[in-house]
Amino acid sequence: MHELCSVVKKENIFTQYLNTPIADLLEYHNMNKPFPQYSSARLLIGMCMDNRKHLHIPENFAYIIRSGGANLRYSEFKVSFAIAVGGVQAIALIGHNNCGMVNLASKRESFISGLVENAGWKRELAEEHFLHYAPLFEIGNEADFILSETKRLRTRYPNILVAPMMYKVEDNRLYLIQEDQVQSI
């Protein structure tokens, strides 16, 4: 497991993120830094669609893309839009513990029966749907996936600062993920 670094004071923020929108996000959410007014977004946040997570941030501070497992592979046009048109220079990629996109195979039957019972699907169609899409959205270990997605985004957008983070649902706090290699831009 990768080391999660608690951020409870400004000194806990990794140096490469100081004086960036990443630091601001950590200070707003974890340290209750007062909110200034923003007229445009400074950051893109990619995070899971899970309903247990809520960020404490100012209005107009960030674009937010929510998708299962914080998987932005299928939202790349939206990421590009936030960078190209929105002008953001940083991405916070936030995974969380106890993510439903981990071990999707164990959720196969509840997924299929839920579509049959709740959505009125035919069982065969629900099975086919699961078998087709589960491999695309399975993330494996949460921190490993966030780090691999961080690496992918850094390669795709080399001038953009990308910070891997985890949100712990039990304490509603953001943690930085310690990386083996630090990004330099």
For residues 48 and 95, the answer to whether their CB atoms sit within 8 Å is yes
Structure token pair of residue 162? 């990308």
- How far is Cα 70 from Cα 30, in angstroms, rounded to an integer? 20
- How far is Cα 111 from Cα 122, in angstroms, rounded to an integer? 13
User: What is the phi/psi pair of residue 153, to 5°?
Assistant: -65, -35
- How far is Cα 13 from Cα 173, in angstroms, rounded to an integer? 14
- How far is Cα 71 from Cα 6, in angstroms, rounded to an integer? 23
Residues 82-139: pLDDT tens digits?
999 999 999 999 999 888 888 899 999 999 999 999 999 999 999 999 999 999 888 8
For the chain, how far is it from start to end, CA to CA, in angstroms? 27
Residues 148-177: pLDDT tens digits?
999 999 999 999 999 999 999 999 999 999
Per domain, the residue ranges of the chain are 4-101+144-177, 103-138
For residues 169 and 52, the answer to whether their CB atoms sit within 8 Å is yes
Instruction: Return the bridge partners of 64, or none.
Output: 45
Q: Which residues contact 129 (CB under 8 A, 6 or more apart)?
A: 115, 121
185 band by pLDDT with thresholds 50, 70 and 90: very low
pLDDT at residue 102, as a whole number? 86
For residues 146 and 70, the answer to whether their CB atoms sit within 8 Å is yes
User: What is the phi/psi pair of residue 73, to 5°?
Assistant: -55, -35
CA–CA distance from 39 to each of 73, 87, 141 (Å)? 28, 12, 37
Q: What is the CATH number of domain 4-101+144-177?
A: 3.40.1050.10
Residues 27-73: pLDDT tens digits?
999 999 999 999 999 999 999 998 888 999 999 999 999 999 999 99
User: What is the phi/psi pair of residue 39, to 5°?
Assistant: -100, -15
pLDDT at residue 51, as a whole number? 87
Starting at the edge strand found earlier in the chain, the sheet holding 90-96 runs 4-6, 173-177, 161-168, 90-96, 43-47, 62-66
